[in-house]
Structure 1
Amino acid sequence: MIKLAKFGGSSLSHEAQFRKVKKIIESDAARTVVVVSALGKRVPSDNKITDLLYILHAHMQHDVEYETIWQTIYQRFVEVRDALQLNVPIEKELEKIIQMVAAKKVSVDYLVSRGEYLTALLMSDYLGYRFVDAKDIIAFHYNGKFDTERIALQANAAYKKYGKIVVPGFYGAYPSGDIKLMSRGGSDITGSILARALRVDVYENWTDVSGILMGDPRIIDNPETITEITYRELRELSYMGANVLHEAAIRPIQEVKIPLNIRNTNAPADPGTTISSDEKCTTYDITGIAGKKNFISLILYKSQMSDEVGFLSRTMQIFERHEISIEHVPTGIDNVGIVISKHSVENNLYELLDELKSELELDEVEVVDDLALIAIVGGNMRGNIQLTGKIFMTLSQIGVNASIISKSAQELNLIVGVKNTEYEKAVRSLYEELVRK
């Protein structure tokens, strides 16, 4: 069995966290592939190394003094090395970086990637594993897409040669060898891509939470942890705000059915949440509740709309032209609702309304801008009439009107729209009824 263990910045913030990671790795001989993020915050008021490197690059570009920032970065890595009594010549690596900065011969991608690079050097020495640079494994085409064939060849060659490896996350390289960063949170993607390439048995994502919660802890007191969830359910919850890992990290392992286990570095005995392609029987009718505030519903009215071929297509083209993502499209006979985020139209709402009215020859457009969406997600919802009844009965009992009701074709989720001011009350009541009763 092969397990890939990815550790985020909170798991690697200082030497005490490194010791926890080593204990976790040594407790299971199957954990032979390790992916690391850059050093994270030690305390809430602290800075992530990645953030400091971005700031350093900005200062370099605008000829602003950066010595204080650099000294903070320098000291963080040296302190971890010295506290753990490692042999890594970290000063030499740091000196190379600052010389490139001084000469302005460093790209933002290269500079920021050094956070993961240096962290991986320290971790590989601490574990006694082989350091393998991500630029030698994670290959990109020049169009920015992953070269999956090359990644598989390079990853398997490195693993076959060394057996136990540590790879920095968050970056890879173009065919030229130039460093390419991923989007923020990209170490999750590195872990996923590498897990797929090596066809590992389990991808463990170690962070500072013991898995995915069934509800938002800012609204619900001590929500339950989801023990098992499908990739499809996770996608639904993530889309509505339940973000635990980078969304782009899901597809590579989902396609080859590698299970993902989200674990807590600070509570390694907790089983966390296992995500797989297999639907399992669960204790509750639902898997979780998530949601977001600040949506707008544009309700388009037009007589004989249902008889007009291509009406929806022309409507979608207008939103596409404005690069506005559509969240939901509840429809009637002579009306259609277009639900979008308020943020997406904060600068061009009136221009958009004018275009919709004139190009679609609408009778009327109604704007509902006090809208929050709540998603109740779970494979057990399929055909469960009693559950659907409970949801609407609960909202009725607390005096909350569902202005939007949308159920997915696969009956994996039910989305209801409520007023922003009623959002927390509705989420709390639904959780109490569907989970705690």
Structure 2
Amino acid sequence: MKVVKFGGSSLATGAQMAKVLNIIVADPQRQIIVTSAPGKRFTSDIKVTDLLIKYAQQVLQHQDYSSTQQQIWARYQEIADYFHLTATQLRPLKTCLWDLPQKDYPNDDYLMAAFKAHGECLNAQLLAIILQKKVPTRYVDPKTAGIQVSNDPQDAHILQSSYQQIAKINIGHDRIVVPGFYGLTSDQQIATFSRGGSDITGAILAYGLQADLYENFTDVNAVYAADPRLVDHPQAIQTMTYRELRELSYAGFSVFHDEALLPAIEGQVPIKIKNTNHPDLPGTLIVPQKYFQPQKPITGVASSSHFAALYLHRYLLNKEVGFTLKLLKIFYEFNISYEHMPSGIDDLTVIFDKRQFTPTKQQQLLERVKMVIQPDELEWIDDYAIIMVVGEGIRLFPDFLQKIFDPLARQSIRVHMINQGASQISIMLGTKQSDAALAVQQIYQSFFPNQNGDE
């Protein structure tokens, strides 16, 4: 049995949903279908989730929301018209959307969560109605499925006890359509996962039902060895491990939701990324490391520029007991997390996700560090990019470092930081932001010479 999740672009129009129907019907093992809300139909379009956020905000601000209400419904009506559904079939869905402002919610956050969740909720019901014309189909909401989550209305997490309930879902020979992105709290309130959380729902169901495979259909052919915006026609990755994807996601790979990996890892369920528009392409298979035999040193290279670094130097720093503890207490005081802390005998660099900072917060942090640590030198480096070179094969190929640094040296790209993880499957490099794209291109060409495309 397979769990199949379809992204927003796959369910944005009637024509796209017709492709989804063909994919589902083509394989009888695709029994559990998880939906996203309708995504963009074209570049300048608005996602239904964003319209629902606007709808909720208008309700909270006591503004006229009728136009937004109609705009949201028009998206579902457009899909329904493609399949010639009747007003009678659609009436329960429209009533559900119209009744949202009249319901009681514990607070504004729960109201927002409930409104957002209805993008997936309505789309799942709509798909179930359409799919029933082809194969026996049931709509199962998260409550019935047993998806119970924490009391965090817009950043919920699955409760471990939910898996016992999910395992009891009666599937039979039917197709089961479940809305993604949300679950129910112990008080039966809707709470959503983080944005893009339909991936999480799919992984939760795959784990709970002990699926043979979790297929995630999106609008890309595969996961690539480098960002196609940086490298022309990069090689598609045929097979990779969970932890390789996790490492690459850290530096910008965004094909699959980070949090969705945890249920898949716990259940040891393989994941396959495929394209709704080209379902016959092999896609990318993501597997536990025990099933993976690396053929090359690296699987991929990625970069991200949303980092900054705090550099400090103090003589005999390595001799001072409790030095790091002092720094960590300052970070706790400012409610900030750090990413990495490479150090030498007299100096230390702390790397942050700079999206945590305002200019004021940054300045206050520097002043606090000066006062408490009293460094000989202190510098804030805002021009910082991180490059991740990732592969299960790194530890098997002794010359991999040479293949990273030789092409960078030829291009006079200066590396400010080098860090190899304890897992020995990744090398992290720090460079200037202006050097990051070229560094990725050079490293990619070093490991994948004359290899590109989806084949």
The TM-score bracket by the shorter chain reads over 0.9
Task: Report the alpha carbon displacement of residue 105 of structure 1 after superposing the two structures with TM.
Answer: 4.6
CA distance in 1, matches of 2:215, 2:83: 24
SS at match of 1:431: helix
Judge which range, 400-409 or 172-181, deviates more: 172-181
Q: State the percentage of identical aligned residues.
A: 36
Task: Report the alpha carbon displacement of residue 286 of structure 1 after superposing the two structures with TM.
Answer: 0.9
Gaps of 5+ in 1: none
TM-score normalised by structure 1 residue count:
0.94
Identify the residue that residue 58 of structure 1 maps to in structure 2: 57
Identify the residue that residue 286 of structure 2 maps to in structure 1: 275
Identify the residue that residue 135 of structure 1 maps to in structure 2: 143
CA distance in 2, matches of 1:75, 1:160: 32
Is the Cα–Cα contact under 8 Å of residues 263 and 273 in structure 1 kept in the other structure?
yes
What does residue range 186-205 of structure 1 map to in structure 2 within 5 Å? 186-205=197-216
Identify the residue that residue 230 of structure 1 maps to in structure 2: 241
What does residue range 268-307 of structure 1 map to in structure 2 within 5 Å? 268-278=279-289, 280-307=292-319
Identify the residue that residue 122 of structure 2 maps to in structure 1: 118
CA distance in 2, matches of 1:161, 1:27: 18
RMSD: 1.9
CA distance in 2, matches of 1:425, 1:160: 51
Judge which range, 275-284 or 423-432, deviates more: 275-284
Task: Report the alpha carbon displacement of residue 37 of structure 1 after superposing the two structures with TM.
Answer: 0.7
Q: Deviations over 1:125-146 (max 9, x none)?
A: 2222100011322112446542
2:179 pairs, out of 168, 178, 199, with 168
The AA in structure 2 aligned to 1:324 is: I
2:409 pairs, out of 387, 391, 396, with 396
Identify the residue that residue 109 of structure 1 maps to in structure 2: 113
Identify the residue that residue 260 of structure 1 maps to in structure 2: 271
Q: Deviations over 1:14-41 (max 9, x none)?
A: 1111111111111111101110011111
Identify the residue that residue 37 of structure 1 maps to in structure 2: 36
CA distance in 2, matches of 1:320, 1:237: 27
Identify the residue that residue 453 of structure 2 maps to in structure 1: none
Identify the residue that residue 313 of structure 1 maps to in structure 2: 325
Is the Cα–Cα contact under 8 Å of residues 37 and 49 in structure 2 kept in the other structure?
yes
Is the Cα–Cα contact under 8 Å of residues 294 and 369 in structure 1 kept in the other structure?
no
CA distance in 2, matches of 1:337, 1:260: 37
The question of 1:328 aligning with 2:340 is answered yes
How many residue pairs match? The answer is 434
**Closer/same/farther in 2, CA of residues 428 and 55 from structure 1, 3 Å limit:** same
Q: Deviations over 1:318-371 (max 9, x none)?
A: 122222221221111111111123333333222212221221232221333322
Task: Report the alpha carbon displacement of residue 429 of structure 1 after superposing the two structures with TM.
Answer: 1.4
The question of 1:364 aligning with 2:372 is answered no
SS at match of 2:393: helix
CA distance in 2, matches of 1:260, 1:4: 10
- Displaced runs of 4 or more, over 6 A: none
Identify the residue that residue 11 of structure 1 maps to in structure 2: 10
The AA in structure 2 aligned to 1:133 is: D
What does residue range 68-87 of structure 1 map to in structure 2 within 5 Å? 68-86=67-85
1:346 pairs, out of 334, 338, 358, with 358
**Closer/same/farther in 2, CA of residues 383 and 309 from structure 1, 3 Å limit:** farther
1:374 pairs, out of 384, 387, 391, with 387
The question of 1:425 aligning with 2:434 is answered no
The AA in structure 1 aligned to 2:159 is: D
SS at match of 1:382: helix
CA distance in 2, matches of 1:286, 1:141: 38
The AA in structure 1 aligned to 2:418 is: I
TM-score normalised by structure 2 residue count:
0.91
Is the Cα–Cα contact under 8 Å of residues 314 and 377 in structure 2 kept in the other structure?
yes
